[in-house]
């Protein structure tokens, strides 16, 4: 497995060794021993799947108290995946990093606890699978404003129409408000 830190060193792009032949392909998406040896030990408690159409933007989501580390992979189609550091005491608070994820490259993104996460769908449809280290807790759920100018994510928006957003994503908090989440 190739492990590359992104702009925020705690967020990693993981590229597995893919074995392919005329029958198709095989790769290990998760191997507890190998990931632990790379410093990525995690106990997964929930796997989530999300399917969306082109132009959908999901996020930027996180949880407080029941914080979640995530291992995110696009299993069909392609997305632009983003993590924003919302850990109040972090030297990279408010900074973002991201990478395109697609089913062909088989890469995944490791997002530590304390980051808001979101993605924008680039393909006709996309299915995203992510493992999390704590259970979903609606009372702990928070959403950071996807287009907060203080974060400055240059989303690769397709066309001129604004992205399709869930109601809660349209009401995301500003980065200034997010500073209070993890105090």
- For residue 42, pLDDT over 80 is answered with yes
Q: Is 130 marked active-site?
A: yes
**Active-site residue identified among 117, 119, 120, 130:** 130
The pLDDT-based confidence of 35 (bands split at 50, 70, 90) is confident
Work out the average pLDDT over 27-46. 90
DSSP state of 174: P
- For residue 63, pLDDT over 80 is answered with yes
- Maximum alpha-carbon separation in the chain: 53
- Give which of 52, 24, 60, 70 is closest to 153, Cα–Cα: 60
With contact defined as beta carbons under 8 Å apart, do 142 and 181 qualify? yes
> Which pLDDT does position 162 carry in this prediction?
87
Q: Domains in the chain, ordered, with CATH? A: 2-178 (2.60.120.10)
Work out the average pLDDT over 126-148. 96
The pLDDT-based confidence of 182 (bands split at 50, 70, 90) is confident
Q: Is 61 marked active-site?
A: yes
> Which pLDDT does position 160 carry in this prediction?
64
Work out the average pLDDT over 158-181. 90
pTM: 0.94
**Active-site residue identified among 61, 117, 119, 120:** 61
With contact defined as beta carbons under 8 Å apart, do 159 and 55 qualify? yes
- For residue 97, pLDDT over 70 is answered with yes
Distance from first CA to last CA of the chain, Å, rounded? Answer: 35
């Amino acid at each position: 497995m190739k492990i590359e830190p992104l702009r925020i060193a705690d967020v990693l792009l993981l590229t597995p060794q893919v074995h392919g032949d005329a029958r198709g392909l095989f790769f290990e998406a998760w191997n507890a021993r190998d990931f632990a040896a790379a410093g990525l030990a995690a106990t997964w408690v929930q796997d989530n799947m999300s399917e969306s159409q082109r132009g959908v933007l999901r996020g930027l989501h996180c949880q407080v108290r029941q914080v979640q580390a995530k291992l995110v992979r696009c299993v069909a189609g392609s997305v632009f995946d983003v993590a924003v550091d919302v850990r109040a005491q972090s030297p990279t608070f408010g900074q973002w990093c991201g990478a395109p994820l697609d089913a062909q490259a088989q890469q995944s993104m490791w997002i530590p606890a304390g980051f808001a996460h979101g993605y924008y769908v680039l393909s006709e449809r996309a299915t995203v699978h992510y493992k999390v280290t704590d259970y979903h807790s609606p009372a702990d759920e928070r959403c950071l404003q996807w287009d907060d100018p203080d974060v400055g994510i240059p989303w690769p928006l397709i066309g001129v129409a604004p992205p399709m957003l869930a109601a809660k994503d349209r009401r995301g908090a500003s980065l200034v408000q997010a500073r209070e989440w993890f105090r």
